[in-house]
Structure 1
Amino acid sequence: MDELLEQFLIEGPEQVQHAGEALLALEGRPDDAALVDQAFRAIHTLKGSVGLFDLPAMGQVLHVAEDLLGAWRDGRRALSRGAVDALIAATGQTERWLGVLAATGGGLPADADAVAADLVSRLNRALDGDAPPSAPIQATDIDTAWIEALFRDRDLAPARHPRVTALRYVPDAGCYFRGDDPVAFARAVPDLLALRITRRDVAAPVAADAYDPYACDLVVELLSAAAPEVVKGPFRFVPDQIQLLSWSPPPSPSAPVPPPALAEGPRSLRVEASRIDALAQLVDELVVAKNALSDLAGQMADGLAPQAAAQILGDRQAALDRLVARLHRTVMGIRLVPILPLLRRFPRVVRETATALGKEVDLAVDGQDVQVDKAIVEGLFEPLTHLLRNAVDHGIEPAAERAAAGKPARALISLVARREGDHVVIDVADDGRGMDPVRIRRAAAARGLLPDRMLDALADDQVLDLVFRPGFSTAEAVTDLSGRGVGMDAVRAAVGRLGGSVGISSASGQGTTVRLVLPLNLVLTKVMIVTVAGERYGIPMDGIVETARVDPDRVFPIRAGRAFVLRDTAVPLLSLAALLGLPEEARADGGPCRAVVARMGGELVAVEVGAFVGRRDVVLRPLTGLLSAMPGVLGTTLLGDGHVLMILDVPGLIAAAPSDTAPVGQGAP
């Protein structure tokens, strides 16, 4: 990938973001000339940059979008909802194309020309005053049952094909004598998605001696991803024998408009020059520290006394520790990026989803001056997208239901990020109907997640935590894209891989809040090293409330498990060996039970270990490949002696454990 394209792929998404923000704001402030100028400048800059590369489809879309914004700016056209929709669709598609370019380093996808033709047509209609097109005819003008059946029979996904061109060709009976070949016409259609050829009257049987091979009685029906003008090309000599439609699958709550993909590359980072200078200075000091160790090695070879050598080595190790700590802080400062640009991507996602569901929703975003590790920003897009879709789809009520409850018809979702100590807290809150603990209990009982007596004993806040169980849903129709509870286990797993945690709170009729708590960085992690069944494991210090040594006489049985009292609070006691499927260690008679106390779902839970080894700053490496989905493991690190240490996710281990090993209130019988 050449340097010019790399620079474009860095600046391009920023310009798309500026344009999208201005267009969304224009809906609320249609007379704000500054917003029109902002959108125009961003589109104009994008168009100029695209002209440097061989990207004609993207250039055509941006050229017409610029013309439309210019007409607004000059007062030749008034703002309309259709025009805003067309421009937002154009910016969203541009962002998707940028993602493809970043991933492949090559050209646009094969369907780029067809997609561009459709977008250009929409933009031109808005530029012409939203006049209805002369061709193709609208789907509402004729029966479209055959299109829906063909779309469904070929298992086409609305998310991948939000708009198709449908053509129905009924050839004249004497077409063969004019040299027309209906099958050849159909085969010449580009980007063909579905093709069906049937007889004109399939209900009327034809006797063998009555069949006329010279008379055409075929009906050709097809769907294509190409633009209508392109599909019509092979049939240009038989325009009176075709029906041509631009058709979109009906919107469904289970299939909202997909958000633009997050571009993955190039993996670059803008860094202030002063930070690079500080890093270079630290490298110089590290070189001096390394030379000091070489000098000490020489002195020891010349007969330096062991006691003096140990003293000097201790001093130089302390100096090296200070340098490494400074280096860590400096690298962290380089990797920290603002989270606000990520959060500003979501108003368009919420708008598209709400439009598909027939709802009106505003998204308020706040994360000013909050900076986090670049890897965390990259890993948050998917879980936040899922949470926002859930909020729009299942959290926000229909307008009639909101009116009956005395709420404004236009709902509000807030996406707020703030820093608390060494963590960043992100709240996704809606003002919808809230979550019903009774309904969740009923759904959990129907799926056999917990026995009825356990469900009845759970507090309401503990019941809400059940939505994070794999496969749990209260929705009548389970989908992959939304449904509060469907995929919430994937949200918790994704946040867990980033070293964070997820909690949920809700009030009936007032709304729901999902809270994500994440570390500011992912490079160095403080862990407590413990042993169990002769093996060493690491537990992140961020997830440990405290450690405890509990005398055996303080441990008492409760139901099928164990517990002890910690400062007037009963704390369930689990075995780490049992959670990991390892044999239990025999503890010496009278010896104390060593436990790590963690917090899960707002409650304290203790996990018994064999011994505490110590604390370490480690470089956490997430699992990849087939192991990436393993529950209860955050990653691995390499110890100084060459051994690999597994870093455990204690809440994840407990959530994935069978009910007979789960703590009271988390699934124990």
Structure 2
Amino acid sequence: MDELLAQFLIEGREQALEAGADLAALQRGPADPARLDRCFRAVHTLKGSADLLGLTPMGRVLHAAEDVLGRLRGGQGEGGDFSVLLEVADQVERWLDDLDTVGVLPESASAASQALIARLAGDGAAPQVAAADDWDGASAFPGRAGVAIRYRPRADGYFAGDDPIAIIKAVPDLAQLRVSLAEPVADPALYDPFRCTLVIEALSTAALPAVETALRLVRDQVALATLRAAEAFAPAGVEVETARRTLRIDAARVDQLADLSDQLVVAKGGLIELAAQAERGGDGQALGQALRAKQAELDRLVAALHTTVGQARMTPLAPLLGRFPRLVREIAATLGKPAALEIEGGEVEVDKAVVDGLFEPLLHLLRNALDHGVERPEARTAAGKPAQALVRLSARTVGDQAVIEVVDDGAGVDPARVRDRAVARGLIDATSAEAMSDAALVDLIFLPGFSTAETVSSVSGRGVGMDAVRAAVTRLGGRVEIDSRPGLGTTVRLALPIRMVLAKLLVVESAGERFGLPLDGVAEIARVPADRIFPIRAGRAFVLRDEVVPLVDLAQALGAEAGPSSDRVVVAGVGGEPVGFAVDAVVERIDAVVRPMAGLLAGARGVSGSTLTADGSVMLVLDLAELLA
């Protein structure tokens, strides 16, 4: 995929999402001149880019939409029917998806474009689309690669001093040229030599910017199309490489990375000198001190580099969240359930990996909210609710986590129905189900194979969805919670790490294995002799500064046999209360990158992730609160 198209897919999607959001707001409420102006600018920019890339159907419909928006800005029309304009924005998003996956617009693009233009014409006078916009560069120069040009000079161009032939001759690397008359001349004697009726078609093998520069003075009279050779296009049904993943990074952060890399090079040079001293048999104590100092310097640089890279990978959620309004409209229309989507918190920034992995889980949640949560219009009216449902997709930061919520005002989840379906599907036995709380029953919807749908539809009902949500969020290092009130609606809450950071871990040994404990949850390390430990109910406890603290053997909590008795106890906060964990030994404190668990260990209880130790072995990082839950 060429660089120009890749850039268009990034910027074009942003402009389409912006236009769609503004049009949806204009459709719901009174006309807002600022929104109307912003929408007009986005459509105008999209149209220009589509024309430059030779995306004729897209360019034509955007030109027509631009004309309608122009009339509305000028006060013409009675408020305007924004529903058709919103369909244009949705169609442009679908075309951008097609370009991203197969590199070309679908064969149906021309018909879809003509249908939308005809509908837009119903808003007033038919949009006047220039003849140049109807031109298909690929058909004019079949099988050729390059920049196709169609230059239709103004009728009064001669009086303005234009020389069309000289202008087209200035285009670099012309490979083909064709000159014709726009209007046939029946009688040469009646031909008006002072009126320009030329149509000039040409093909250049130069880069698009060079062609644009040569034609910059007559750009309004020119249509351009970037053509690729026929073999460059994938045959129908064959996928090609999608657009490369890109990330916009602030220049200041790039400068920070460059500075840190320079410092690391200098630090590496210092290690070479120390190695040379060791080979010469230098003073061992002085060499050890120098190595310690160099290690401290490297620790500082590596931590700073990791932090800066993490900051560079941060990206706002707005582009991701902006993809859902169109999808919600399409799903709602399929289900026959009018619904509006409200979005909040697009400015929240998270790691790019989290953004990339969130689309499918959020789409599942929105589908389920519309299919299972939202009632049909007549049922909502009978319940005293507006016929149009409201779904809210919001994001906010809480500490070092991003919390994303999908909230609907539908019927909610009925715990009794969930229990009956889970038992009927054999997912849980009846005795266990009867003993479960309502909250625990609602949580059963995340079990694989669970569904409350009575029939299978194109949207849901196959028992695949909510379990996939939990699995995807767990892979990203997050968790999923659900809160539902029958008759009032459901909230599904995702809590995800904002960025991948170097975690400070306390390494302990228990039952012959080493484990990492998050240091921010550790209050202190104490020595508790056996004579200070006393039984309390079914467990043990000890007194720490006049406070009774429960004592848990870490090995037993992990399901292993307890090792030899030790007086080392790690005191950690669990649920706001101190809890002591007896360990065999406290080894060291380290900085490490903690990765979420995957595969068979993804659901391991009490394990939040894993990391690699200095010798290359894998060490589990424990979640002490979950271990005791």
TM-score range, shorter chain: 0.5 to 0.7
The AA in structure 1 aligned to 2:617 is: H
CA distance in 2: counterparts of 1:387 and 1:544, whole angstroms: 36
Q: Shift of residue 381 of structure 1?
A: 1.2
Moved more, 54-63 or 457-466: 54-63
* 1:10 aligns to 2:3 (yes or no): no
1:360-439 correspondence to structure 2 within 5 Å: 360-367=338-345, 369-439=347-417
**In structure 2, how many angstroms separate the alpha carbons of the residues matched to 1:606 and 1:20?**
55
In the alignment, what sits opposite 1:108? 104
* TM-score in terms of structure 1 length: 0.63
The one-letter code sitting in structure 1 at the alignment partner of 2:336 is G
Q: Cα distance 1:78–1:629, how it changes in 2: closer, same or farther (>3 A)?
A: farther
**Are residues 1:66 and 2:66 paired?**
yes
Match runs of 1:90-109 below 5 Å: 90-100=91-101, 107-108=103-104
Amino acid at match of 1:124: A
**Secondary structure at the counterpart of residue 641 of structure 1:** coil
> 1:36-51 counterparts in 2 under 5 A?
36-51=36-51
Residue 306 of structure 1 aligns to which amino acid in structure 2? G
For residues 546 and 423 of structure 1, what CA distance do their matches in structure 2 show?
A: 25
The AA in structure 2 aligned to 1:93 is: R
> 2:77 touches 2:123 (CA, 8 Å); kept in 1?
no
Which whole-Å deviations, capped at 9, do the CAs of 1:40-91 have from their partners, x for residues lacking one? Answer: 3222211211222243443344344434444544536863365245324323
CA distance in 2, matches of 1:446, 1:546: 49
Paired residue type of 1:639: T
Alpha-carbon distance change, 618 to 99 in structure 1, aligned in 2, over 3 angstroms: farther
Amino acid at match of 1:39: C
Match of 1:380, SS state, is: helix
Between the aligned partners of 1:447 and 1:598, the Cα distance in structure 2 is 40
**TM-superposed deviation, 1:441:** 1.9
2: distance between equivalents of 1:123 and 1:608?
A: 74
Matches within 5 A, 1:288-307: 288-307=266-285
2:495 counterpart SS class: strand
1:483 CA displacement: 5.7
State which of 477, 482, 501 in structure 2 corresponds to 1:504.
Answer: 482
**Alpha-carbon deviation of 1:499?**
0.7
Paired residue for 1:330? Answer: 308
From the superposition, tell whether residues 470 and 534 of structure 1 become closer, same or farther in structure 2 (CA, over 3 Å).
Answer: farther
Q: Distance in 1 between matches of 2:326 and 2:458?
A: 20
Identity %: 47
Return the match for 1:123 from 107, 117, 120.
Answer: 117
Change (3 A) 1:85 1:286: closer
Q: Give the paired residue count.
A: 503
**Pair 8,85 (structure 1): closer, same or farther in 2 beyond 3 Å:** closer
Please identify, of 589-598 and 412-421, the stretch whose mean Cα deviation from structure 2 is larger: 589-598
CA distance in structure 2 between the aligned counterparts of 1:116 and 1:614, rounded to whole angstroms = 67
Tell me the CA shift for residue 433 of structure 1.
1.8
**How many Å apart are 1:493 and its aligned residue?**
0.9
In the alignment, the residues of structure 2 paired with residue 16 and residue 631 of structure 1 have an alpha-carbon distance, to the nearest angstrom, of 39
Matched letter for residue 6 of structure 2: E
Give the deviation of 1:294 after TM superposition.
Answer: 2.3
Aligned equivalents of 2:496, 2:340: Cα separation in 1: 26
Name the aligned partner's letter for residue 127 of structure 1.
A
* Cα drift, residue 21 of structure 1: 0.9
SS of corresponding position for 1:517: strand
- Distance, in Å, in 2 between the alignment partners of 1:417 and 1:292 is 46
Q: Partner amino acid for 1:12?
A: G
Deviation at 1:556, TM superposition (A): 9.0
Report the CA distance between 1:490 and its aligned residue. 0.8
Match of 2:80 in 1: 79
2:337 counterpart SS class: coil
Paired letter, 1:121: A
Report the Cα offset of residue 455 of structure 1: 2.2
Secondary structure, counterpart of 1:475 in structure 2? coil
- The one of 460, 473, 483 aligned to 2:438: 460
Rg (Cα) greater in structure:
2
How far residue 336 of structure 1 moved from its aligned partner, in angstroms, is 1.2
Distance (whole Å) between structure 1 residues aligned to residue 28 and residue 89 of structure 2: 15
Decide whether the 8 Å contact of 1:577 with 1:609 is kept in 2: no
Structure 1 residue 618 displacement after superposition = 3.3
**Range that drifts further, 642-651 or 482-491:** 642-651
Over 3 Å counting, the alpha-carbon distance change for 1:439 and 1:644 in structure 2 is same
Aligned equivalents of 1:463, 1:573: Cα separation in 2: 30
Matched AA of 1:508: P
Question: Unpaired segments of 5 or more residues in structure 1?
Answer: 132-262, 558-562, 579-584, 655-662, 665-669
For the 8 Å contact 1:596–1:609, the answer to whether it is kept is no
Give how far 1:391 is off. 1.5
How far did residue 92 of structure 1 move? Answer: 2.7
Q: What CA distance in whole angstroms lies between the structure 1 residues aligned with 2:380 and 2:555?
A: 45
Distance 1:547 1:304, change over 3 A: closer
**Aligned Cα root-mean-square deviation (Å):** 4.5
Aligned counterparts, 1:126-145, within 5 A? 126-128=120-122
CA contact (8 A) 1:468 1:485 kept: no
Question: Hey, what does 1:514 align to over in structure 2?
Answer: 492
Q: Which residue is equivalent to 1:641?
A: 615
1-side partners of 2:337 and 2:520: how far apart?
A: 40
- Judge conservation of contact 2:510–2:554 (CA < 8 Å) in 1: no
Is 1:318 the counterpart of 2:312? The answer is no
**Would the aligned equivalents of 1:60 and 1:116 in 2 still touch at CA under 8 Å?**
no
Given that 1:479 and 1:486 are in contact with CA atoms closer than 8 Å, whether structure 2 keeps it comes out as no
Q: Which has the larger displacement, 586-595 or 25-34?
A: 586-595
Distance 2:625 2:552 in 1: 15
TM-score (norm 2): 0.67
Contact 1:573-1:606 within 8 A present in 2 as well: no
Q: How far 1:531 sits from its partner (Å)?
A: 6.9
Query: Aligned in 2, Cα 1:367/1:374: closer, same or farther, shift over 3 Å?
Result: same
